[in-house]
Amino acid sequence: MYRQGDVLIVPVAEGAVPARAADGPRERRDARGRLVLALGEVTGHAHAVVGPGELVREPGPFGPLLLHLPQGGRVVHEEHAAIALPKGWFRVVRQREYVPGSVRIVAD
């Protein structure tokens, strides 16, 4: 398991990757060529992956992301140390917080 700020990255065994990931919508890379896992609404900083790979959004209000890194990659952020990830599949989960009557994703 890997954590960078409010982003949790959990390895997923190849056999446990949902079949729908093959047809799921792919997230686009940003202008700098990165796969953005979480964008800071206030600072504009981003938790992002550099290197080859795909980011698949799963359905739902908090839509976890599935990250596929065929050659490994690095998670970077302007205010955190980079994290090296091995090749494989990962589930990307944003930290949530309870607000009376609901739940929301933590914002930078």
Tens of pLDDT, residue by residue, the chain (108 residues): 998 878 889 999 989 888 888 788 888 998 899 999 887 765 668 889 998 999 998 766 556 689 999 999 999 988 889 999 999 999 998 765 555 665 445 454
pTM, whole model, 2 decimals?
A: 0.80
Rounded to whole angstroms, how far apart are CA atoms 64 and 66? 7
Q: What residue has token string 């596929």?
A: 68
Find residue 96's DSSP bridge partners: 105
DSSP type of residue 46: E
CB–CB of 68/53 below 8 Å? yes
